Amino acid sequence: MRTALCPGTYDPVTVGHIDIITRCAKNFERVVVAVVNDAFRKQPLFSIDERVAFLEESTRHVPNVSVVVLNGLVVELAREVGADALVKGLRAVTDFEYEFQMAQLNKKLDPDLETVYFMASPAYSFLSSSGVKEIAKYGGCVDDLVPPMVAKRLSEIYQSLEA
């Protein structure tokens, strides 16, 4: 069985993430979405439980997708779930620079694990979780950028900060 592991912080999950996961599910028999619990680069806005719930709800329509929590090295989780490949989405050259470095580090840790890149669909090539949070923070509409439950939760968070 060909299995893909799609790691990320998903803080929050966007329609761009869902697009990559859905397309990945057409190319692999099984897709495991791994939500990073201990983000190294940034403190997440959403709890790990919220991020997992958002992804489970948003991928419910894709039967060969499951969601797990990543609490360590991605290569270790890849071994645990029997992943043949890590799948990452790329929007622009700046994404590639970071992802290339990570792919090389992962290859050093596990020479048999391949990294596969899916290019962002043109409609989502501009979309980032940080951009969505900034728009929501300043009262902009994010309804077409994130799943409905994420848009609702962002509204709740930023309205409570204004109060």
Q: How confident is the model over 63-86, as pLDDT tens digits? A: 999 999 999 999 999 999 999 999
User: Sign of dihedral through CA atoms 45, 23, 7, 61?
Assistant: positive
The model's pTM is 0.93
pLDDT for the residue numbered 16: 97
Mean pLDDT estimate for the chain? 94
Report the largest interatomic distance among the alpha carbons of the chain, rounded to a whole angstrom: 52
Fold of 3-122: Rossmann fold (3.40.50)
Per-residue pLDDT, averaged over 132-161, amounts to 93
pLDDT band, residue 39 (cuts 50/70/90): low
Q: Residue 99 — very low, low, confident or very high, per pLDDT cuts 50/70/90?
A: very high
Is the predicted pLDDT of residue 21 greater than 90, yes or no? yes
Tell me: pLDDT of 161 over 90.
Answer: no
> Is the per-residue pLDDT at 48 higher than 60?
yes
Distance CA 163, CA 158 (A): 9
11: Cα within 13 Å, side-chain hemisphere: 18
Averaged pLDDT, 103-107: 96
The whole-number pLDDT of residue 42 equals 77
Residue whose entry in the numeric block shows the structure tokens 């989502």: 124
**Mean pLDDT computed over 148-154:** 97
Q: What is the model's pLDDT at position 162?
A: 62
**Domain boundaries, given as residue ranges, for the chain:** 3-122
| Token pair recorded at residue 23 | 């397309």
